[in-house]
């Protein structure tokens, strides 16, 4: 696949390095690799626009047709080797809302646990320490989030959250497991392990 190179004099913030004449290395995040992105590659006193398609992996090459004419004044293409940076998920429960639910949960490349809670919910306060504990133990494997249904009615309505606490487990944007009520730690741990086992089988 070929991508046309474009030049500009502005400074770039994209991590990259030269590998050999006409070939460069560019580092992108795992999320950018999954969804595709557009980056600027700094080369000498100019920079080239690199359109990276979705689904690339470390070692993938993107070809910029005739770009060496811009960088070196000679005919030829520029090859950009992609390096995907593996990012560890933050330990602890992440608070999300209607606005970022899609990005944080549905588009996440790893399994996600979402705890739905609300103000004045005593059972929710009982479950919270358990989800925090599991978030730390499964950091990097299971992303753990919480969403306040009082402040974020859109997601709560979409998933028909009628009682809280309620926990949904997502993978690839789909609900694959759930828990309702103030269940004990062993129950949530078992469900978490089940989801992670499901993830291994899917891979």
Q: How far is CA 68 from the centre of its chain?
A: 33
pLDDT tens for residues 73-94?
778 888 888 887 755 455 689 9
DSSP 171-197: ETTEEEEEEESS--HHHHHHHHHHHHH
Q: pLDDT category, 198, cuts 50, 70, 90?
A: low
The number of domains in the chain is 2
The reported pLDDT for the residue numbered 35 is: 84
Mean pLDDT highest for which of 1-5, 54-58, 135-139, 159-163? 159-163
| Domain closes at, from 53, 85, 117 | 85
Same domain, 35 and 103: no
Same domain, 99 and 120: yes
| Domain closes at, from 34, 53, 85 | 85
Secondary structure of residue 134 in the 3-state scheme: helix
- In 3D space, the residue among 200, 133, 110, 128 whose CA is nearest the CA of residue 164 turns out to be 128
Same domain, 59 and 101: no
Which of 123-127, 138-142, 170-174 has the lowest average pLDDT?
138-142
Same domain, 157 and 191: yes
Residue 181 maps to which CATH number? 3.40.30.10
Same domain, 196 and 101: yes
Same domain, 79 and 101: no
Which of 3-7, 38-42, 113-117, 118-122 has the lowest average pLDDT?
3-7
- In 3D space, the residue among 186, 151, 183 whose CA is nearest the CA of residue 167 turns out to be 183
Q: pLDDT category, 125, cuts 50, 70, 90?
A: very high
Strand residue runs (E) in the chain: 2-4, 7-8, 16-20, 23-29, 37-43, 46-52, 61-65, 78-85, 94-95, 112-117, 143-148, 166-171, 174-180
The reported pLDDT for the residue numbered 90 is: 54
Same domain, 54 and 131: no
| Domain closes at, from 54, 85, 116 | 85
Same domain, 103 and 79: no
* pTM passes above 0.85: no
Secondary structure of residue 68 in the 3-state scheme: helix
Same domain, 196 and 100: yes
- Tokens found for residue 6: 């474009």
The reported pLDDT for the residue numbered 21 is: 59
Same domain, 41 and 136: no
**Segments forming the whole domain that contains residue 124:** 94-202
Same domain, 105 and 179: yes
- In 3D space, the residue among 86, 91, 127, 129 whose CA is nearest the CA of residue 109 turns out to be 86
Same domain, 17 and 64: yes
The two most distant CA atoms of the chain are separated, in Å, by 70
Residue 69 maps to which CATH number? 2.60.260.20
pLDDT tens for residues 5-32?
333 323 333 344 444 557 888 888 877 8
Mean pLDDT, residues 166-178? 95
Q: What residues act catalytically?
A: 121, 124
Q: Is 39 a residue whose pLDDT tops 80?
A: yes
The reported pLDDT for the residue numbered 86 is: 57
Averaged pLDDT of the chain: 82
């Amino acid at each position: 696949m070929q991508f046309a190179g474009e030049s500009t004099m502005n400074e770039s913030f994209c991590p990259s390095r030269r590998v050999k004449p006409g070939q460069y290395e560019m580092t992108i995040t795992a999320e950018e690799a999954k969804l595709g992105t557009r980056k600027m590659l700094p080369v000498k006193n100019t920079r080239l626009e690199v359109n990276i398609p979705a689904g690339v992996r470390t070692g993938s090459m993107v070809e910029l047709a005739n770009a060496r004419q811009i960088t070196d004044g000679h005919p030829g293409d520029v090859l950009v080797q992609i390096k995907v940076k593996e990012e560890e998920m933050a330990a602890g429960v992440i608070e999300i809302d209607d606005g970022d639910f899609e990005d944080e949960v549905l588009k996440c490349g790893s399994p996600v646990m979402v705890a739905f809670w609300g103000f004045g919910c005593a059972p929710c306060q009982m479950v919270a320490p358990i989800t925090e504990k599991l978030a730390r133990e499964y950091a990097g494997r299971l992303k753990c989030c919480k969403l306040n249904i009082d402040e974020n009615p859109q997601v709560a309505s979409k998933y028909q959250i009628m009682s809280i606490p309620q926990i949904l487990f997502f993978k690839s944007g789909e609900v694959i497991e759930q828990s309702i009520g103030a269940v004990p730690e062993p129950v949530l741990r078992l469900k978490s392990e089940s989801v992670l086992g499901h993830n291994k089988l899917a891979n």
